[in-house]
Amino acid sequence: MSVVSVENASKVFGAGHTAVTAVGNVSLTIEAGDIMLIMGPSGSGKTTLLSMIGTLMSPTSGRILISGKDTAGLGPGQLSRLRLHEFGFVFQTFNLLSALTAEENVMLPLLTAGVPGKDARTKARAALEQLGLGQRLRNLPRDLSGGEKQRVAIARSLANDPRLILADEPTANLDGQTGQDVTLLLCETACRENRAVIIVSHDHRLRTAAKRVITIEDGHLSAEERGEHDRHCRMHAGAAPR
């Protein structure tokens, strides 16, 4: 069963002569282990499509199915639980809580899901250590570099073992080398744990992580091509992830 199926989904803002179609009649399928990069110019509908897939926005027409379940039939509480358990979100601006340590930021979704405090701390610590942040557990966001903040955000997105990671411009605020490191980290995470990853970005460096590159223009899918994943993923090259 597909992790996500988008079936003829459209999103229209406004009505009548002021109506604007942000996404028009888009269909695509994402399987476990897929790494899909969605590219296109500003205003092309990339973030709107990602928001619909993440159930942060409902399509005007068409359907979004998550693990075969039509999200249109779910109430607000069900959608909230779906986002908490099925999705991991990674944002351009990190969205870390400034008063919480790295460890506490990663613990937060676990505690929200009802995981006992001790278990939440153990899982958060393991996730951060896996991403090379074992020495930064007690640091506040202000004491972390941009790359470290994004690694904390990725650890947080993985905390509840989601099937799907949704990343909106995850390298936009990072320098070249750090952006490349985060790109490979997303790639390795998908391969090692068989998660689906959807990335929206203008950053062509992310082609090195992607298995599929989708181009969207004026709200419509205009092209799909293979990414460069197989040539760059350290998991496939047999190297240990760092």
Q: Give the integer Cα–Cα distance in Å for 210 and 230.
A: 9
**Considering the domain boundaries, does residue 126 fall inside one?**
yes
**Considering the domain boundaries, does residue 218 fall inside one?**
yes
What's residue 238's pLDDT?
46
What's residue 173's pLDDT?
79
Neighbouring residues of 193: CB distance < 8 A, sequence distance ≥ 6 = 158
Across 51-147, where does the E strand assignment appear? 61-66, 69-70, 87-90
Provide block-wise average pLDDT over 10 residues at a time, the chain (242 residues): 93 92 95 93 92 95 94 92 91 91 96 94 92 93 93 90 91 81 80 89 88 95 91 62 39
Range of the domain at 216: 4-237
117: domain CATH number? 3.40.50.300
User: In degrees to the nearest 10, what's the CA dihedral of 120, 125, 130, 133?
Assistant: 140
Read off the pTM.
Answer: 0.88
**Considering the domain boundaries, does residue 242 fall inside one?**
no
**Could you tell me the two tokens for 219?**
């709200």
Domain total in the chain? 1
CA neighbor of 132 nearest in space, from 189, 94, 171, 91: 189
**Considering the domain boundaries, does residue 64 fall inside one?**
yes
What's residue 183's pLDDT?
80
What's residue 140's pLDDT?
97
